[in-house]
Amino acid sequence: MTGKIYYDLDTSWVNNIKINLSAIERRTATLTKRRTVKKEYQVAWLLKAITLIDLTTLSGDDTSGKVERLCNKALNPIDKNILSELGLSKNDIRVGAICVYHHLIKDCKTLLSNQLPIAAVSTGFPAGLSSFGTRKKEISDSIRDGADEIDIVINRGFVLQNNWTKLYNEVKEFKKTAGNIKVKAILGVGDLETLRNVAKASLVCMMAGADFIKTSTGKENINANLNNSLVMLRMIRDFYNKTGKKIGFKPAGGISTSKSVLEFLILVAEELGFEWINPKLLRIGASSLLIDIERQLYHYTSGRYANKEKLALG
């Protein structure tokens, strides 16, 4: 069954999902008390985290100049002096991908020369409320311009109305349009009201062919946190146990410190295993996280912290 792209919509499975909120909160509250990483182990985890980042710029003032700096940083995420102190060479560490709006894909393609994947947000990002035809065309246009991955936005209204057939058909059509291009389905967890809805939406998107499920656009009031991530990871695990298909996970929005990203990595490792800690199955949507990771690595190699100006993005 692992070769299948789509699975039939199983509404009985969806409707029978139960969520124990107190158990979820207890699990995430004790996570960092039970698991900590220090010194060289922390360095190793932070270097791994860099390779999982979808380095993102999704602002209204995005320009080709801003994206040029972002692409340069994606290819050279760590200062050469820090790399030297860690015994690494220039090409040892790069981010997982660049994530941008459609109009900047061609710029990224030129700057990156196929050295990194380009992910484009699509389907009416961030609200996902454009017409269905327009949203499908966005996917096709972005792939035509060179996008290697598509981050789609689901219609959250379908989730709130428990209209799983419409959600399933929508995501399935988006995946058909994308073909063999990787599709990350953004749930917009902050708009879904309950963790049970998060779990149900996760399952339906996986059935419909999403290659990744992603927490947020980064524009909602509530973005990725350990609670909603745990729910999504458990659904990925259940789906894998039933179908044999591995689905990727992308927490996004609000992950801006080394401490927080380590918590997410530990959670994924404990829930899904270390085989998920790789760019094919785990991405982290972030913009400022890389700066903090670099500051921590600078401290490890020099014994002092650098200010942000010294390690500024780009």
Catalytic residues: 151, 214, 250
The identity of residue 1, as a single letter, is M
Strands 248-250 and 118-121: unpaired
Distant-in-sequence, close-in-space partners of 267: CB < 8 Å, separation ≥ 6: 28, 31, 226, 229, 230, 233
Phi, psi (degrees; rounded to nearest 5) at 153: -110, 125
> Distance of CA 32 to CAs 37, 100, 265, Å?
10, 32, 11
Kindly state the DSSP code that residue 3 receives in the 8-state scheme: T
Q: Where are the beta strands (DSSP E) in 109-226?
A: 118-121, 149-153, 182-186, 212-214
How far from 189 is each of 29, 216, 223, CA to CA, in Å? 20, 6, 7
DSSP 140-161: HHHHHTT-SEEEEE--HHHHHT
Is 155 in contact with 128 (CB distance < 8 Å)?
A: yes
